[in-house]
Structure 1
């Protein structure tokens, strides 16, 4: 049914219990940077969040005011809808166990309100391995529910490999796709974009935009450093005109790379926990990527500055508390700082 190799399946639980810091640590960039100085007069801010799910949350999260302020500052927030939005799960037992994802409209609306994301400024990718967890009917219900809520979506096969969205004065192309599926290929085909090879896109697919942004669901889970194959795909996307890449699926924070003029954030972690409620602490570190893009004539679509904003998802009864790293205290702050310095090669420094 799924397309995961056996070695991947066997490594899932050990890596969930202890996220890996092994891998190639060379060639990564700092977690923040100013690329154009002096900054242009007009910019558009994009904020990318990780996977959104109700698996580890029965209620809406509590949110640090600093995180709400950051999200409110964005002209567009882009995330991954890891749970189908359905009124009643069809995969009842799997949903109870957490292997099949689901969330209802009430949870999603309450969660967005709690973190300060305005629905009209939100775009959710449906290109992920869990989107068909509640079957084809659940997928159709998800598409209809998000449309009813006024939330734009990307990553459906019907819209083609690159979708056009207006963000302020800019026209941005979004290429959302998943390399992984939990259901049969025939169910994903024609519904969910798996067009991750830009060489297979139509010749003009990435043309006519101020900026092309890829939102891939890729790599292996619970590994802080991306695999060589993932980095090779990032280079391929960059070579086909993609200027910004913000990835999901690893469920842990991964580093940043600059490939010529292309900015790559390999993994942002979960925005709302997608695994079991009792998750080891390294997997609770997440991040928001804020990217300022020039809207000035002559520099339209160029990345001005970027910053990874790490935060922690702490357990609070039946839901999570989203806490900025700066607000952590004591031993937890020390552990998180040490892990972030390991991920970013010592280049991370919290305030």
Structure 2
């Protein structure tokens, strides 16, 4: 049913228990940088990681600094990793955590808790779990998003590049998944698996094209060569910004010409089991400031940690963590991003 290679499947549990720092760490960019002279007027985009209720029975707690950061953005873009349904259809799998599901109420409460205004939010539905509750669950998810007033991307029914206003700019969002957990025909007819922009006029009239791919292998801090090659192909097609998902751990940033690539932002809300090893609890918010012509003026990865508190999670900036865990997290981030962030 799925399209994962056997080696991928066999490595899932070992890498979940011990996320890997193995791979090629060369050629990546700093955690933050100013690329052009700061514009007099800017548009701010914030990209968050995967969102799920798997590790949460109720809405998260959120540090005020994280909520303020998200509130500062003109647009927030993330990945909705779970179908939004009132009653799971895959009952056993949902209880075990292999099949994802969250209620409309949970999603609404979670967004309120972290300070994301629904009218600023765009969520991708292009991920491997989107048909975990069947075709009916997918259709229910689309209707739930409409009721909540949340815009979505990454469905097969829409064109590859969808246009959204962010201040005076027009942003083109292009979402797709490399992976599926369901039959190819059923899945690909509903969820976008197209990894190229198609005709060049698909992005006509757009100030900046942002790709939101669900790609790579999970629980690896460095992207595989195939993923980096795909990033170069997207850059060659005119994509100026890439914010990836699916790895469930933070991955580095790369600059390919004028294209900025954040390979993996980790989870925004826990998508794996509630008792998860600490490296998988590190997430990141990518904040990008744009000039009036859509050029990336500056970017910064803002790492945080999802701490377990009973039946939910607390989102805490790294600098606000206790000394013991903070040292471990900072060491891991240094291994991923290398040199300190530019100022």
Compute the displacement of 1:62 (Å): 0.6
Is the CA contact 2:3–2:180 (under 8 Å) kept in the aligned structure 1? yes
**Paired residue for 1:28?**
28
**Paired residue for 2:314?**
321
Following superposition of structure 1 onto structure 2, how do residues 85-164 of structure 1 map, counting pairs within 5 Å?
85-164=84-163
**Paired residue for 1:305?**
298
Is the CA contact 2:33–2:341 (under 8 Å) kept in the aligned structure 1? no
Structure-1-length-normalised TM-score: 0.96
Structure 1 stretches of 5 or more lacking a match? none
- Determine which of 343, 347, 350 is the counterpart of 2:340: 347
Structure 2: distance between partners of 1:152 and 1:17: 34
Is the CA contact 2:122–2:153 (under 8 Å) kept in the aligned structure 1? yes
Is the CA contact 1:341–1:348 (under 8 Å) kept in the aligned structure 2? no
Q: Deviations over 1:240-273 (max 9, x none)?
A: 0000000000000000000000000000000000
Structure 1: distance between partners of 2:188 and 2:277: 35
**Paired residue for 2:327?**
334
Structure 2 stretches of 5 or more lacking a match? none
4+ residue runs of structure 1 moved beyond 6 angstroms? none
- Determine which of 194, 201, 204 is the counterpart of 1:204: 201
Compute the displacement of 1:60 (Å): 0.4
**Paired residue for 1:233?**
230
3-state SS of paired residue (1:127): coil
Q: Deviations over 1:34-75 (max 9, x none)?
A: 0111x1111110000000000000010010110000000000
Compute the displacement of 1:189 (Å): 2.2
**Paired residue for 2:17?**
17
Structure 2: distance between partners of 1:5 and 1:129: 14
3-state SS of paired residue (1:323): strand
**Paired residue for 1:287?**
284
Compute the displacement of 1:206 (Å): 2.8
Structure 2: distance between partners of 1:111 and 1:3: 31
Is the CA contact 1:206–1:242 (under 8 Å) kept in the aligned structure 2? no
Compute the displacement of 1:197 (Å): 3.0
3-state SS of paired residue (1:142): helix
Structure-2-length-normalised TM-score: 0.98
- Determine which of 210, 229, 247 is the counterpart of 2:244: 247
3-state SS of paired residue (2:285): strand
Compute the displacement of 1:348 (Å): 5.0
Structure 1: distance between partners of 2:135 and 2:159: 19
Structure 1: distance between partners of 2:120 and 2:310: 30
Q: Deviations over 1:262-314 (max 9, x none)?
A: 0000000000000000000000000000000112xxxx100111000000000
Structure 1: distance between partners of 2:219 and 2:202: 32
Compute the displacement of 1:331 (Å): 1.1
Compute the displacement of 1:207 (Å): 2.8
Between the two proteins, the alignment pairs up a number of residues equal to 343
Structure 1: distance between partners of 2:337 and 2:56: 29
